[in-house]
A and B are shown apart, each in its own frame.
Chain A
Amino acid sequence: AQKVTQAQTEISVVEKEDVTLDCVYETRDTTYYLFWYKQPPSGELVFLIRRNSFDEQNEISGRYSWNFQKSTSSFNFTITASQVVDSAVYFCALRANTGNQFYFGTGTSLTVIP
Chain B
Amino acid sequence: GAVVSQHPSWVICKSGTSVKIECRSLDFQATTMFWYRQFPKQSLMLMATSNEGSKATYEQGVEKDKFLINHASLTLSTLTVTSAHPEDSSFYICSASQRAGIQETQYFGPGTRLLVL
B-binding residues in A (CB < 8 A):
37, 42-45, 47, 91, 95, 99-107, 109
Contacts and interface: CB of A to CB of B under 8 A. Distances in A.
Contacts of B104: 100
Contacts of A100: 32, 34, 49, 97, 104, 106
Which bracket fits the contact residues of B? 20 to 34
B43 A45 contact: no
Secondary structure dominating the interface of B: strand
A43 B91 contact: yes
13 contacts: A43-B93, A43-B110, A43-B113, A44-B110, A44-B111, A45-B93, A45-B108, A99-B49, A100-B32, A100-B97, A100-B106, A102-B44, A104-B44
B95 interface: yes
B19 to A, nearest CB: 17
Secondary structure dominating the interface of A: loop
Given A43-B38, A100-B106, 16 more contacts: A37-B108, A43-B113, A44-B108, A44-B110, A44-B111, A100-B49, A100-B97, A101-B34, A101-B46, A102-B106, A105-B43, A106-B42, A106-B43, A107-B42, A107-B43, A109-B41
